[in-house]
Structure formats: C-alpha cells, structure tokens
Amino acid sequence: MRILPLLGLLCVLGLPAASQAQRPASAPTSTEPVALAVDLAQPIGPMPPVWAYFGYDEPNYSYMPDGQKLLTELAALSPTSVYVRVHNLLTTGNGEAALKWGSTNAYSEDAQGRPLYDWKIVDRIFDAFVSRGMKPIAQLGFMPKALSTRPVPYRHYWKPGDPYESIYTGWAYPPKDYQKWGELVYQWVRHCVARYGEAEVKTWRWELWNEPNIGYWKGTPQEYNQLYDYTEAAVHRALPAALLGGPETTGPGWNKAADYLRGFLQHCVTGTNYVTGKTGYSPRFYFLPCQRWPQARGWPCAHEYGYAVWRPGRRL
C-alpha cells in the first residue's frame, strides 16, 4: 500500500492546492514541474500503519470455515490491525458464495415500496473481521436490486473463460431514488455503531463503490458525484467522525482514471453539493483510494492499493 500526500496527488492531477484568489502570483502553473522534498530526519508525528491490508470480491466466504481459518492467519501476520476490504456488501441475494459474486440482502422493499433492512448476513461478515481484531474497509456498494435503475439482469454466473464484462449487471447501476440510497447508508452505519460501538467504528474506513471509471459503475461521473454527496451526508449524519473515502478508481497512471479522479476532486473543490446545494470545498472525504493493476492489463506495475490521506484542517 502506498501513501501519498494529498497535496502532492492534487498537483499530479493538475488541480489547484488553493483557489486562484489565494495563490501567490509567482506560484507555478500546473504545467511546470513540481518538486517535493521530504526530510526524513525531521519527525512530524506518528505514522499510522495503513499498509496491513487484504481484499477480495466474495464476502460470503468470510464466515465459512476455510475463510475464517484464512482470516485468522492473515490477522496474525501483522502487529497492528489488518484492514479487510470486500465487495458486494449491499448486493441483493441469498448469501450464496460464488466467483466474483456475493450478497447480503441488506435492502429490499415491501409491496408498497417501503424499505426493509436486514443486517444478518453483513453482520456475520463483519463479525468475522472484528472478532479477530481486524478492521473493515466498509465498501458502500453495490446497488440493491430494489433500488437499481436497471435491475434485470442482476445475478451473474461468471466463471473463468467467460468475458469479464459479463459480471457488470444490475448491481452496477445508479439508484432510482438517491434519498432511499442515502437512508440505507445511514441505517447501516447507525446499525454498526449500535452493534460494535462508536469507538470501534470510528477506526474503520468507509468508501463508496469500486472502480467507477470502468464497468463497475454504469452511471455517469456526475451521477457518481451525486451518489457520493448523498453517501457522505448519510455517513456523517450517522457518525460525524466516520472516515469516508472515494472514489477508488483504477490507478491514476491511466489517463481515463486520472480524468475521473480529477473530475471528482473538482466537484469537491468547486462543484455544487447535490444534498446541501452549497458550492466550493468542504471536508467531504478523508482518503482517496485508488488501485494499480498488474502488467496483464497493460499497466507497468504490480497490484497495489494506495490512498492519499486528508487530515482535518487541511485545505485543498
């Protein structure tokens, strides 16, 4: 896992570190080289170990015997808490485990369209982590069938040899009701606080979606920004101290990923919040996760997971 200073990441992406009005006239433009100096002999403070991290697609294996055995072994590898990130924590289904699939049935609706929440399966997943001293990177996704704007087809049956794109089904679409999505997020975070305690949940990481710049998100970048605003409002309504991040793009060394991440950051800096109607920067995220994939995808790097950390009080 690689940690990047948020200011440095913004410079790499060509975003201003402050508004034009605040920038000195002699400041370099985004097209000029940027030099970052690090004095390793000058202590600033403790460095939280965020590199103890594992992740996988199929969350329902977490509470099965072999899954629990593996989690125990992974937890023992690190002297600090290991973070675990899984997909499909809000996906609709009966909890059946399969390749590139998982489900919790956390959200459904009755005949009148009223929300029904069921945390039994997702609790089993998080119990498997927390009971071993592990910490969730709680991924807010994917879209429940009852909320999806294109719910059919929904369940996929991918197997090795099938086109990878066949996994992108109804769970990858935006919600038909952003307020219902926000309420789902609020209820889930509030439930976690009630079950595990505020002190524990404050140490978790929450993030919205996975790789929205590719097929995991079938909406537009603007629709992702809207989803993020509703998610952020809901998470921090339930737990103001929650550590929320996004958008978990593929590695920004790829121009399409960089463009997506740049658009998201620009929305945070100068865009209009879809919930509050306010414009300009507000501290809506704590970290900016991104992924780097193997050379098999044509990108010259090993698989890594990294994020830039935003600290309260910093300005973009």
- The pLDDT of residue 33 is 87
Has residue 222 got a pLDDT over 50? yes
Could you list the beta-strand ranges (E) of the chain: 2-5, 53-56, 83-86, 107-109, 115-117, 135-140, 205-208, 243-245, 249-250, 287-292, 304-309
Domain that holds residue 130: 2-12+51-309
Query: Comparing C-alpha atoms, which of 94, 225, 208, 212 is closest to residue 154?
Result: 94
Phi/psi of residue 289, nearest 5 degrees: -80, 150
Tokens 């509050």 belong to 276
Query: Domain for residue 42, yes or no?
Result: no
Query: Domain for residue 30, yes or no?
Result: no
Query: Domain for residue 21, yes or no?
Result: no
Tokens 């807010």 belong to 140
Query: Domain for residue 129, yes or no?
Result: yes
Query: Domain for residue 46, yes or no?
Result: no
Has residue 257 got a pLDDT over 80? yes
CATH of the domain at 264: 3.20.20.80
Minimum mean pLDDT range among 3-7, 71-75, 171-175, 292-296 = 3-7
How many distinct structural domains can be found in the chain? 1
- The pLDDT of residue 75 is 96
- The pLDDT of residue 66 is 96
Indicate the pLDDT class of residue 245, thresholds 50, 70 and 90.
Answer: confident
Has residue 128 got a pLDDT over 60? yes
pLDDT tens digit sequence for 186-213: 999 999 999 999 999 999 999 999 999 9
Query: Domain for residue 168, yes or no?
Result: yes
What is the distance between the alpha carbons of residues 289 and 139, in angstroms, rounded to a whole number?
11
Phi/psi of residue 287, nearest 5 degrees: -145, 155
pLDDT tens digit sequence for 18-59: 333 333 344 445 678 889 898 989 998 887 776 788 999 999
For 114, 154, 225, 299, the CA distances from 111, given in Å and listed in that order, are 7, 20, 30, 48
Q: Pick the residue with more confidence: 206 or 12?
A: 206
> What number is the average pLDDT over the span 279-298?
57
Indicate the pLDDT class of residue 284, thresholds 50, 70 and 90.
Answer: low
Query: Domain for residue 43, yes or no?
Result: no
> What number is the average pLDDT over the span 91-113?
97
CB 185 within 8 A of CB 207: no
Q: Pick the residue with more confidence: 271 or 305?
A: 271
Minimum mean pLDDT range among 38-42, 124-128, 142-146 = 38-42
- The pLDDT of residue 228 is 94
Share of the chain above pLDDT 90, in %: 66
> What number is the average pLDDT over the span 64-78?
96
- The pLDDT of residue 288 is 63
Q: Pick the residue with more confidence: 305 or 263?
A: 263
Query: Domain for residue 125, yes or no?
Result: yes
- The pLDDT of residue 311 is 40
pLDDT tens digit sequence for 295-316: 334 333 333 444 444 443 344 3
CB 272 within 8 A of CB 233: no
Q: CB neighbours (10 Å) of residue 205?
A: 21
What is the distance between the alpha carbons of residues 172 and 147, in angstroms, rounded to a whole number?
11
- The pLDDT of residue 283 is 56
